[in-house]
Homo-oligomer: A and B are copies of this chain.
């Protein structure tokens, strides 16, 4: 029942969430050393989470003799260097989202870990929320039939840290920040073997005085015919809106991860506790906290999968290859936003082929059954098409 000893790189909000998860509850894994670019932030983080050591030397953190796992929780532009060091050190490496700023960068990081033969996990937490895991399992069990459409929406009023706003360091705006979540959620629902063929994306900068987009909407057409749709924004008002909707030929799924989860509080204000939830906008009036954020946002199940897979010698649910595919879709989004046309997703595809969603029309007395409805009296109403004339009619028949 031994756990892992971790070199954590980065002391931002995501470093806090990761450590809160790893050190929370009765976990057996431990952050052993934390790297920060700033001595002060490193010391505060060490103190905050009871970590043995902190350092401002990236290589020293990665190569720490007591750790076997490196977690990269750095700004996007620092991922490649960190992963290179971890691969060289022969350590397991887990990298926060997005993997790269571009597919090309992600491709290089994928090659690094594959060449070094180290375990590598892509820390896409929102795929691991308990609701998403259960919903994806239900879809895989056929509960909603073939998926025809998956919408993932992540919007909030904008990030808390300055570097997020600098496209040179990140690769873009909310597509890079939030779209990466949505794309991987969608892939889990439509099936990871279902190739994202092409993308149509619209972006605009409507509110913030920045060069990158602050709003984007994209459609992703998959090989099966299913459509993925994501909406991301840094201008949403009201908190953090995290919702997914999935439509299938036999059912529907609606997930709400943040603003409406069964926890509602009205406070006339004036009282202590400021923190409601990540990106909450107010601390009075009607508030909608979440119960256990690190569980609800998927961090708990994510690290469990990562460490179990590492121990078992199997790939985790989310790999660097998945991170690379996400980057390839985002690249296509940015190209499409510029050309204003459908753009192919360009990448090395390892996922095989997926057949088109099948239509299997029923035939009734030589006519195609368009729809069958059950009437209150138990009889069935058929909408029928005569394929030769193209005419439609309806007929009521005895129930089967």
Contact = CB atoms under 8 A, between A and B. Distances in A.
A129 B261 CA distance: 13
A143 interface: yes
A300 interface: yes
Contact of A268 (B25, B145, B262): B145
A353 B128 CA distance: 46
Interface string A228-262: 01010101111101000001111111111100111
A304 B25 CA distance: 5
B207 A359 contact: yes
Contacts of A149: 215, 217, 231, 233
Given A28-B1, A165-B385, A237 B263 contact: no
A264 to B, nearest CB: 4
14 contacts: A3-B28, A28-B28, A134-B292, A135-B265, A143-B267, A143-B273, A165-B385, A200-B202, A208-B359, A217-B219, A237-B249, A250-B267, A256-B263, A292-B301
3 shortest interchain CB distances as A-B pairs? A274-B376, A130-B291, A285-B285
A25 B385 CA distance: 40
A264 B272 contact: no
Interface of A: 1, 3, 24-30, 129-131, 133-135, 137-138, 141-145, 148-149, 151, 155, 157-158, 160-163, 165-166, 168, 200, 202, 204-211, 215, 217, 219, 221, 225, 227, 229, 231, 233, 235-239, 241, 247-257, 260-268, 270-275, 281-292, 295-296, 300-301, 303-304, 307, 340-342, 357, 359, 361, 368, 370-371, 373, 375-377, 381, 383-385, 390-394
Contacts of A262: 131, 255-257, 260-262
A389 to B, nearest CB: 11
A306 to B, nearest CB: 10
Contact of A215 (B148, B163, B368): B148
Please indicate which of the listed interface residues A217, A255, A266, A385 has the most CB atoms of chain B within 10 Å of its own CB.
Answer: A266
Contacts of A137: 273
A393 B211 CA distance: 16
